[in-house]
Amino acid sequence: MFLGIDIGTSAVKVICTDGTAIFATATAGLTVQSPYPGWSEQAPDAWWLATCAALAEIAKTVPLSGVTGIGLSGQMHGAVLLDSARQVLRPAILWNDSRSTEDCTRLQNVLPNIGSIAGVLPLPGFTAPKLMWVAREEPEVHARIAHILLPKDYIGLRLHGELATDRSDAAGTLWLDQTAREWSEAVAAASDTDIGWLPRLADGHEVVGQVMASAAAETGLPSGIPVVAGGGDAATGAVSLGATEPGRGFISLGTSGQLFVAGDAYHPNPSKYVHAFAHTVPGRWYQMAAMLNGARPIAWLAGQLEIDAGEVVALAESADASRVPTFLPYLTGERSPHGDPHIRAGFFGLEDSTNRAGLCRAVIEAVAFTFADAVDSFGDTIADLPHLAAIGGGSKSPFLLQLIANATGQRIGRTVGSDAGPALGAARLAACGLEVLNLSDLGQQPDVADWFEPAHNEDLIDRLEGYRALYRALKPLNQQPK
C-alpha cells in the first residue's frame, strides 16, 4: 500500500492505494491567515498537525502498518524559511500572497531574460520575489535564513529529516533553470537568495528519505519506509491522469484553477503568463495557465451566504439565466492570462430583482470564464487535444463542467476518482519509486466516467464578452495595491 499526502491550501488530503485502486481517503482542514491586505500565510506546523490528523483518520479504515511507501504533493510557491537548527522563522508566505509586487518589477529589471530562464515572468505568487520582500521588510528574519523549503517538502522534512524537493515544485519558485532542470545561480543572486539555502533536487519518483522513528511515533506510520520526492500539485495531478505523455491535458478545479498540457520539450510563453515548467518525471515539461481563483469564489460566496458550496451550485442551476449579473472572480488578483496582482473581485449589473440564485449563477459562470481566458492564452497549442480531463473538488459539479465546456469549446472528461487528484498522483510516484510501477505506467489514463460536450450558447458567449470588457474597464482603477 502507498500513501499520497497532498498539502492543499484549505485542507490536507491523504489517500491509500495500491497504485490503482483507492482503499481509503481522509482530509483535515486548514485555514489561511491574512493579517494585512494582500497577505496570505499559513503556519507550517498546522500542515503537520493536519497531516497527523488525516493519517489517524486513514488508520480507522486501513492499518498504517501495511504502508510500504509515501509520496508527497502540495500547493506550490509557498516560502518556508528555516534557521540553521531547521526551525521555522516565520509563517509561510503562500502562492496567493501579493505583497511582493514591487519586488517582481525589480527582479525583471535586474534580469530581463528571466522569463526564458524560469519559464514565466515574475509575479508575487512565486517564491523568489517573496525572498526579496523578506530581505527588504524583515531583514532580521532574512539574516537568519539557512534553508528554504516548499510546503510539501516541509512535511518531508518532518517525516524523513532531509532537505529535498522535486523539479516540478522547484520550477514554481523562479529559481529553477527550466532547460537545465537545475537551480539558477543568476536568478538566486538577483533575488536576495543564497543558492546554498535551496534543497537538493530530485525527480518525483526518487526516494529522498525514510520515515524517522520520531515521525513514526507521531503518525503511526512504520519507521524506515521510503518517501519519494513527489511533486507540486499541478504535476502530481497530471500523474493521476496519465498526463505525463506529450499532448495530454486537463483542468484542475481546486482553490486555484489550472489548465495543463504536457510535453517533451521546454516551450516558454511568458508574454501570456502561461507557465512553462519542468514536470516531476524526467524528460518532460508542461505548459500551464494558472488562475489564482479557481473554484475558490464558490467557497467564498458560500461563506457569505452561510450555505455550503453544493447549495451555491444548486441555486445557480435554478437562476433565470437572462437576468444574471456579471462577477469578476479576482479575490486575490490574477495570474494567467493577465499577470495582474491588483485587480479585485466584484459584481456588476445588480438589479432590485437580483436574488441569491442570480449571485450564485454569476459566480459559477465566472469560474467557467476564467478557463475560457486560459484556453485563449494557449493559442493553437490546445487545438489538437482530443479532450481535457477534469480533476479537483469543483469537478464534482456537472453543471460547472458543462459551463466550462460551453465557454471554452473544449470537450471535458470527468475521470473515475477525479477528486483524488494530486494525492493519487503522489502515491503513484511512490509506487514507481519502489518499482511496483515503472515510468511508462505513469502515462496510463484513468477511465472517463462522464463526458461534457461543448454546446454553443450565444447568450453565454455574450456574457463572456461582457465579462472580458468589465475587466478591461476596471483595470485602470486597480493599479495600486489597496
**Inter-helix orientation angle 356-378/398-408, to 10°:** 50
pLDDT value of residue 172: 96
Is 265:287 a contact under the CB 8 Å cutoff? no
Q: Which residue has the cell 520575489?
A: 129
How many degrees, rounded to 5, is the angle at CA 289 between CA 90 and CA 424?
Answer: 70
Inter-CA distances, 218 with 52, 67, 132, 260, Å: 7, 15, 35, 36
> Quick one: cell of 367?
469560474
Using one digit for the tens of pLDDT, what is the confidence trace for 36-84? 988 999 999 999 999 999 999 999 999 999 999 999 999 999 999 999 9
pTM score above 0.85: yes
End-to-end Cα spacing for the chain: 49
Choice among 153, 192, 233, 373 that is catalytic: 233
Using 70 as the pLDDT threshold, list the residues of the chain that sit under it: 417-419, 479-482
* Whole-angstrom distance, CA of residue 244 vs CA of residue 247: 9
pLDDT value of residue 480: 56
* Whole-angstrom distance, CA of residue 128 vs CA of residue 193: 8
pLDDT value of residue 402: 96
Q: DSSP assignment, residue 60?
A: T
Q: Kindly report the backbone phi and psi dihedral angles of residue 160, in degrees, each rounded to the nearest multiple of 5, phi listed first.
A: -120, -10
pLDDT value of residue 482: 46
18 belongs to the catalytic site: no
| Most distant CA pair in the chain, distance | 64
Using one digit for the tens of pLDDT, what is the confidence trace for 302-325? 999 999 999 999 999 999 988 899
Q: Give the helix/strand (H/E) hosting 17.
A: strand 11-17
Three-class DSSP category at 3: strand
For residue 360, the number of C-alpha atoms closer than 13 Å in the C-beta half-sphere is 25
